[in-house]
């Protein structure tokens, strides 16, 4: 789908409480090492899915720190005590204990960083606007966009730390990625980057179309 090699990646999408956030599990089919993206709730269900996929979790990756993307962390930490949790450090600037709770110890990752998950490489793209530390995660032909880019829409900018101008910049950055990607947003259904370039009102606005 894009210029990079399309990888043989294990992939599962879960809709988790309290508000139906998309949690993703992906892994390297060769090594059976995997990662969890945005565990918003239902730790037991997430762990069961990991088990069913036959994966060993090596990382928990957060696109941002809102409660509905991190809610399962306390239970996951108990079950996976040695697994690092990655979060952009700018999220600490708006932590309020409710909308953005304290996620506990995290490893910083910033724009351009890479995280290995078995033989897969996760590239971090800083895409602020929904929150100051929002990131999108690129793995082969898959793009986890959190609450930056949705199918036909984009994330809110009226919450603490939100910025419409920054989110427009982030949408332009994603639109400029060469080729096509499977878009895995924080809410609603999957899409493709090419579909969003053509039909997403906000991405078209960001591109001046």
Q: Which residues 6+ apart lie within 8 Å of 122 measured at CB?
A: 35, 59, 61, 114, 115, 116, 137, 138, 139
Check pLDDT > 50 for residue 49: yes
Mean pLDDT confidence for 47-56: 98
- Exposed e or buried b for every residue in 3-40, given b needs 16+ CB within 10 A? eeeebebbebebebeeeebbbbbbbbbeeebbbbbbbb
The share of the chain scoring above pLDDT 90, in percent, equals: 96
The tens digit of pLDDT for each residue in 103-127 reads: 999 999 999 999 999 999 999 999 9
Structural domain boundaries in the chain: 9-206
d(CA 71, CA 65): 9
At the top level of CATH, the class of 9-206 is alpha beta
Mean pLDDT confidence for 13-34: 97
The tens digit of pLDDT for each residue in 127-175 reads: 999 999 999 999 999 999 999 999 999 999 999 999 999 999 999 999 9
Q: Which two tokens stand for residue 63?
A: 């696109």
**Type and span of the H or E element at 165:** helix 164-175
C-beta of residue 129 within 8 angstroms of C-beta of residue 169: yes
d(CA 120, CA 209): 35
The tens digit of pLDDT for each residue in 55-102 reads: 999 999 999 999 999 999 999 999 999 999 999 999 999 999 999 999
The share of the chain scoring above pLDDT 70, in percent, equals: 97
Cis peptide before 18 (omega within 30 of 0): yes
Q: Which two tokens stand for residue 37?
A: 């993206």
Tell me, rounded to whole angstroms, the distance of Cα 78 from its chain centroid: 22
Pairing assessment for the beta strands 85-87 and 107-108 based on DSSP bridges: parallel
Report the pLDDT value the prediction gives residue 7, as an integer from 0 to 100.
63
H helical segments located in 99-142: none
Main-chain dihedrals φ then ψ at residue 79, nearest 5 degrees: -80, -30
Cα–Cα distances (Å) from 168 to 26, 43, 75, 84, 171, in that order, read 28, 33, 35, 31, 5
C-beta of residue 146 within 8 angstroms of C-beta of residue 135: yes
């Amino acid at each position: 789908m894009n210029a990079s090699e399309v990888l043989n990646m294990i992939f599962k999408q879960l809709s988790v409480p309290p508000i139906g956030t998309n949690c993703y599990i992906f892994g390297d089919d060769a090594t059976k090492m995997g990662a969890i993206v945005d565990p918003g709730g239902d730790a037991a269900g997430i762990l069961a899915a990991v088990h069913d996929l036959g994966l060993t979790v090596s990382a928990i990756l957060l696109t941002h720190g809102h409660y509905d993307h991190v809610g399962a962390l306390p239970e996951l930490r108990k079950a996976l005590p040695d697994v690092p949790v990655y979060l952009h450090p700018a999220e600490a600037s708006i932590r309020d204990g409710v909308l953005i709770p304290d996620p506990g110890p995290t490893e910083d990752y910033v724009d351009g960083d890479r995280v290995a998950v078995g033989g897969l490489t996760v590239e971090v793209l800083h895409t602020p606007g929904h929150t100051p530390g929002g990131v999108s995660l690129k793995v082969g032909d898959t793009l986890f966009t959190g609450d930056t880019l949705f199918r036909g829409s984009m994330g809110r900018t009226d919450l603490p730390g939100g910025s419409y101008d920054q989110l427009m910049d982030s949408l332009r950055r994603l639109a400029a990625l060469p080729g096509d990607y499977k878009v895995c947003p924080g809410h609603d259904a999957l899409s493709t980057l090419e579909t969003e370039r053509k039909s997403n009102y906000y991405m078209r606005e960001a591109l001046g179309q």
